[in-house]
Chains A and B, each alone.
Chain A
Amino acid sequence: MDSFQPIPPRPSPVRTEGAVPWIRRNLFGDPVSAVVTLLLFGAFAWWLPGFVDWAALQAVFAPDADRCQAARGIGACWGVITEKHRLIIFGRYPFDEQWRPQIATIVLVSLLVASCVRLFWKPWLALLWVVVLALFFALMHGGVAGLSVVTTDRWGGLPLTIMLATLSIVLAFPLSVMVALGRRSKMPAIRTICVIYVELIRGVPLISVLFMASFMFPLFMPPGTSIDVLLRVLVGITLFAAAYMAEIVRGGLQAIPKGQQEAADTLGLGYWQTQRKIILPQALSLVVPGIMNNFISIFKDTSLVTIVSLYELTGAMGLALNSDANWRPFKIEAYLFIAGVYFIFCFAMSRYSLWVEKQLSASKNR
């Protein structure tokens, strides 16, 4: 027998985990990809330092209009935010009383965040909602506990945005459930009414609904009555949100297997008992992501009330800068600030919506 001849060692396995393999696979996978990576990198390297320079390094943070003017084109003027942030965030609310909308907003946002956390999904949450909303209005409007009255035309900025979005969704929800049920009802008259409502509202832009609310609502009321502008706008946005949510809820209702309805009938449950105990709980848990999406879009759509002269965030910014010639050239920084505020809120909400979706689908994928 010949002596043992070892075969040459095989090459070690190629690493597929780790940073370098990842870069090789994802950035330089094939020639086209490599070229694209190089081009994009080059573009970034050319643009990014300039942007960072403008936005941070050379930027003027002090509320000094002259320094800002001197730094025009070289550095961003974040001083406009330092100077005007109270006017932008709180609108025309009286200066001395701005602690009130501050507290009111914090309380309302905390409530919204708390309602998102599983820990708080208890029956007393509903009571908490009522209490917090009452507290919000008491703080904003005043007239109780020695607080001075501030009429609704002075409300503005971030508190107004959050309040309009929250209140319109909360009010639109029961209405949308009714309309969705009505649309699936067997009674032709009720079905037709619901269809007409939904298709009419969904077919027109929100701005025309707001115009209708602000121009025509007063004509619809008996002569001599006058309705608060905020109330009119709230009614308009609520009707708008309800139409879209009705479609989402209807989608959820359609996804419930017919067997559930038949089983409920077998047990002898009436229509409203079936809906309340069997159908709606299942349907609504299906549509929570859709409702979150609707909330995000209504939150963004509140920026439209600036066209009917309620000064929410976008309008308050216009108000703050347009009448002040010293700061008007720095509108772009103010726009970026407000865009950032909206982005933070909406991005957080969309991340939450994804989390909720995962939670709900986890229970389905056993």
Chain B
Amino acid sequence: MTARAAPKAKRDWSLRSRAVRALLYQVIALGLIVAAVWFLAHNTMENMRVRGIQSGFDFLAQPAGFDIGEMPVAYDALDPYWKAFGIGVLNTLRVAIIGIVLTTVIGTLVGIGRFSPNALVRGLCYGYVELFRNVPILLQLLMWYLLLTEWLPDPGEPLSAFGLFFLSKGGFTFPVPVWGEAQAYAGIGILLGIALAWGWSRWVKVRFDRTGHRLPVALPALLLVIGGAVLGWLAGGAPNAWNVPVAGDVSVDGGSALTPEFLSVLFGLVFYTASFVAEVVRAGIQSVPRGQVEAANAIGLSRGQQMRLVVLPQALRVIIPPITNQYLNLTKNSSLAVAIGYPDVVSISNTAINQTGRAVECIAIIMLVYLTTSLATSAIMNWYNQRAAIKER
């Protein structure tokens, strides 16, 4: 018997074929979505035309016309709207980055504290987590702001240390160097120092692999970074101009200040998110098999060494995805600063909406800012996740 050629597959175009049905559902779904979007867009255009509302992003180039209370970089009321939005983004990032660092530190400590041999410490950590987790973040922000504005001294009679640092309702004021060329060079020097420090830590590792001798890493790295800053400063001419705060009649003038708004947003976000991070760290530590701890005990590591060298590195695998979530939550929760007067991007966008009437465009900008920040944070944490993943043989 000769084998026959396989019959040609007939394309079945009836509804019995799964492929055809799948195609049909997708076409219908897409069609519905497109129709819905068209409906909404058409209504919006119609509404805006009837009401005479302008649209478009051209307002971004016009002068903003409003001052902003906290400006990390120089800003004037005549600068365009996009610069005002930029200041808002910088303020958000300022609170988010510092918040993430502090949250990680406090959250890890509290999470480790849940396993302390001391019952009081365990109880305190548990109490902290339950207390701060179960109260809404907005309420916590409002309470921090109330506490700071009630209990800090009047701006006319601030607490001062060394005549240079002042604490008042205007915030914590401290002297800053006047920003000039030298400071820019110092910044470049710091970056160079960081790169050199990283190179040094790699070289130390290579040398350790080769000879077994471990050279110190932390101190030389610190010296390299500081050295870079000093060299840059010298290269710029070693200026010595400082912006020193002076206690004036009604307030403290000059210097730079950590305002009560910034501090209450920071503290509120940090203590709230740290309670979630503590739970995440606790879950991570619990996920490490008990055999690891017992083995570490058997080879004589102290409790601190166990935690640092054995448990935490393995717990990182389990900790990193949920902690990424918490970092994103912290960044998004910083938008609540609008309720207590901190000029983050949502607050500035509100002002822009009220002055220009372009609600759709401004809200689109806010969403874009937060989406970008979320994606960037997720990307960085994913990269770290890949690196921390244990390469099993």
Contact A339 B119 (CB under 8 A): no
Give, as a whole number of angstroms, the nearest-CB distance from B366 to chain A.
5
Contact B44 A314 (CB under 8 A): no
Say yes or no for B352: interface residue by CB 8 A criterion.
no
Instruction: Select one of B121, B135, B359 contacting A342, CB under 8 A.
Output: B135
Q: Which of B134, B328, B339 has the most CB of A within 10 A?
A: B134
Stretch at the interface among A11-19, A56-64, A199-207: A199-207
Measured CB to CB, the nearest residue on chain A to B116 is: A33
Contact with A along B141-152 (1 / 0, CB 8 A): 011001100100
Contact B118 A29 (CB under 8 A): yes
Indicate whether A207 sits within 8 Å of B118 (C-beta atoms), given known contacts A219-B43, A300-B136, A338-B139.
Answer: no
Within 8 A of B (CB), among A303-320: 303-304, 306-307, 314
Measured CB to CB, the nearest residue on chain B to A161 is: B136
By a CB distance below 8 angstroms, the chain B residues around A69 are none
Measured CB to CB, the nearest residue on chain A to B142 is: A335
Measured CB to CB, the nearest residue on chain A to B138 is: A303
C-alpha spacing A332/B143, complex, angstroms:
7
By a CB distance below 8 angstroms, the chain A residues around B118 are 26-27, 29, 33, 36-37
Contact B43 A188 (CB under 8 A): no
Give, as a whole number of angstroms, the nearest-CB distance from A114 to chain B.
23
Give, as a whole number of angstroms, the nearest-CB distance from A229 to chain B.
16
Contact B139 A221 (CB under 8 A): no
C-alpha spacing A30/B117, complex, angstroms:
9
Measured CB to CB, the nearest residue on chain B to A346 is: B134
By a CB distance below 8 angstroms, the chain B residues around A203 are 328, 367, 370-371, 374-375
C-alpha spacing A216/B55, complex, angstroms:
13
Give, as a whole number of angstroms, the nearest-CB distance from B119 to chain A.
4
Within 8 A of B (CB), among A194-233: 200, 202-208, 211-212, 215-216, 218-223
Contact B363 A223 (CB under 8 A): no
Contact B363 A208 (CB under 8 A): yes
Instruction: Select one of B22, B46, B142, B375 contacting A223, CB under 8 A.
Output: B46
By a CB distance below 8 angstroms, the chain B residues around A335 are 139, 142-143, 146
Contact A219 B47 (CB under 8 A): yes
C-alpha spacing A40/B125, complex, angstroms:
13
Instruction: Select one of B50, B117, B143, B333 contacting A33, CB under 8 A.
Output: B117
Contact A220 B363 (CB under 8 A): no
By a CB distance below 8 angstroms, the chain B residues around A27 are 118-120
C-alpha spacing A233/B78, complex, angstroms:
36
Give, as a whole number of angstroms, the nearest-CB distance from A211 to chain B.
6
Instruction: Select one of A204, A220, A301 contacting B367, CB under 8 A.
Output: A204
Give, as a whole number of angstroms, the nearest-CB distance from B25 to chain A.
6
Give, as a whole number of angstroms, the nearest-CB distance from B49 to chain A.
9
Contact A205 B332 (CB under 8 A): yes
By a CB distance below 8 angstroms, the chain B residues around A338 are 139
Contact A339 B135 (CB under 8 A): yes
Say yes or no for B222: interface residue by CB 8 A criterion.
no
Give, as a whole number of angstroms, the nearest-CB distance from A93 to chain B.
21
Say yes or no for A116: interface residue by CB 8 A criterion.
no
Give, as a whole number of angstroms, the nearest-CB distance from A189 to chain B.
4
Contact B336 A314 (CB under 8 A): no
Say yes or no for A274: interface residue by CB 8 A criterion.
no
By a CB distance below 8 angstroms, the chain A residues around B43 are 219-223
Instruction: Select one of A193, A204, A343 contacting B131, CB under 8 A.
Output: A343
By a CB distance below 8 angstroms, the chain B residues around A219 are 43-44, 47-48, 359-360
By a CB distance below 8 angstroms, the chain B residues around A166 are none
Stretch at the interface among B26-34, B98-106, B197-205, B284-292: B26-34
Instruction: Select one of A26, A223, A301, A314 contacting B50, CB under 8 A.
Output: A223
Say yes or no for B388: interface residue by CB 8 A criterion.
no
Say yes or no for B346: interface residue by CB 8 A criterion.
yes
Give, as a whole number of angstroms, the nearest-CB distance from A38 to chain B.
10
Say yes or no for A350: interface residue by CB 8 A criterion.
yes
Contact A339 B143 (CB under 8 A): yes
Within 8 A of A (CB), among B141-179: 142-143, 146-147, 150
Give, as a whole number of angstroms, the nearest-CB distance from B271 to chain A.
13
Give, as a whole number of angstroms, the nearest-CB distance from A359 to chain B.
19
Contact A216 B363 (CB under 8 A): yes
Contact A342 B120 (CB under 8 A): no
Instruction: Select one of B25, B133, B374 contacting A187, CB under 8 A.
Output: B25
Give, as a whole number of angstroms, the nearest-CB distance from A254 to chain B.
14
Instruction: Select one of A208, A331, A343 contacting B134, CB under 8 A.
Output: A343
Say yes or no for B338: interface residue by CB 8 A criterion.
yes
Indicate whether A205 sits within 8 Å of B370 (C-beta atoms), given known contacts A220-B44, A223-B46.
Answer: yes
Binding site for A on B (CB under 8 A): 22, 25-27, 29-30, 33, 40, 43-44, 46-48, 50, 116-121, 124, 130-131, 133-139, 142-143, 146-147, 150, 328, 332-333, 335-336, 338-339, 346, 353, 359-360, 363, 366-367, 370-371, 374-375
Give the 10 A-B CB pairs with smallest separation, nearest first: A346-B134, A26-B119, A205-B332, A189-B26, A300-B136, A303-B136, A205-B335, A203-B374, A203-B371, A33-B118
Give 24 pairs: A residue, B residue, CB < 8 Å, sorted on A: A33-B117, A187-B26, A189-B29, A190-B25, A200-B371, A202-B374, A203-B367, A204-B332, A208-B335, A208-B367, A211-B363, A212-B363, A215-B353, A216-B359, A219-B359, A220-B44, A223-B46, A296-B134, A300-B137, A307-B338, A338-B139, A343-B135, A346-B135, A350-B134
| Given A193-B30, A203-B371, A219-B47, 13 further pairs, Cβ under 8 A | A26-B117, A29-B118, A190-B25, A203-B328, A203-B367, A204-B332, A218-B47, A220-B40, A222-B46, A306-B138, A335-B142, A343-B134, A350-B130
